[in-house]
Amino acid sequence: MNADVKELRSNDRYLPQYAMMGTFGAADVSILNVAGNGAQVEHPQPLRLASKARLVSRVGAHQIAVTGVVIWSHLSRMPNDQGKYLYRSGIRFDNELDLGPLAGSGVLRREIGTLDRKRERIIEKERQRAAQPVVKILTNTEVDPDQVLLIHHARERLRAHPDEALKWYNRAKFALVDEDLAFDAATHHREDILAVWEYLERSIDLSTIVRVFERK
């Protein structure tokens, strides 16, 4: 099996089979899904982009306790059963989390088809982007400070962990290779830029990452 495919599958998402309540720093959260390198959580109060804290959740004898950073966050488009709008956020873990005990005990179940659906979403997003008219970005346009902080955080982490940086670059390359136009458009960027882009789950445009990299 292709090593890139194997690496991607090793980080498939897992769905909790029971309610997984916990905390991210001082915020109460509910874990919607989790992988070895990150989680998606739901919470009533907003989380600041690029904020870093410890995610802790316990189910029976099993516990998740890992430090991470918020790489995206938005208000849900639909209310919950109580008519309330909640926030959803993506947290990238600083260290790989071993989900074996939780999966083995039945607390978590692997989400079948995660990789295929992710690739389909990437391809469709790139197709939509290619169909849009090209808009020139002004060089004096300011980048959101939170995005700058996220990019710097990712860049410094991957500089300190070259093996991890290579892993994220390979993931970006693998995901894009199925769409020739998207692949051709992205591969002129340096490997470190693509690694940061993938590390941040493509939540920030490549053009924005390039502009931050080019700053003195």
Q: pLDDT (tens digit, 9 = 90+) per residue, 136-173?
A: 343 446 788 888 989 998 999 899 989 989 988 888 87
Report pLDDT for 5. 39
Concatenated DSSP letters of 55-114: EEEEETTEEEEEEEEEEEEEE-SS--TTS---EEEEEEESS----HHHHHTTSEEE-TTH
Q: Which tokens hold the place of 95?
A: 């260290």
Domain-wise residue ranges, the chain: 12-110, 115-214
For residue 79, the model assigns a pLDDT of: 81
Q: What is the pTM of this model?
A: 0.70
> Which residues fall within 8 angstroms of residue 17, CB to CB, at 6 or more apart?
106, 107, 108, 109
Say yes or no: domain 12-110 is CATH 2.60.120.260: no
Question: Rounded to an integer, what distance in angstroms lies between the CA atom of residue 195 and that of residue 92?
Answer: 14
**Which residues pair with residue 39 across a beta bridge?**
34, 91
Q: pLDDT digits over 182-193, tens only?
A: 444 555 678 899
What pLDDT score does 60 carry?
Answer: 81
Pairwise CA distance, residues 203 & 90, whole Å = 10
pLDDT along the chain (216 residues), means of 10: 42 87 96 94 92 93 92 86 89 92 90 59 50 42 84 91 90 65 55 90 86 81
195 contacts 165 by C-beta, under 8 angstroms: yes
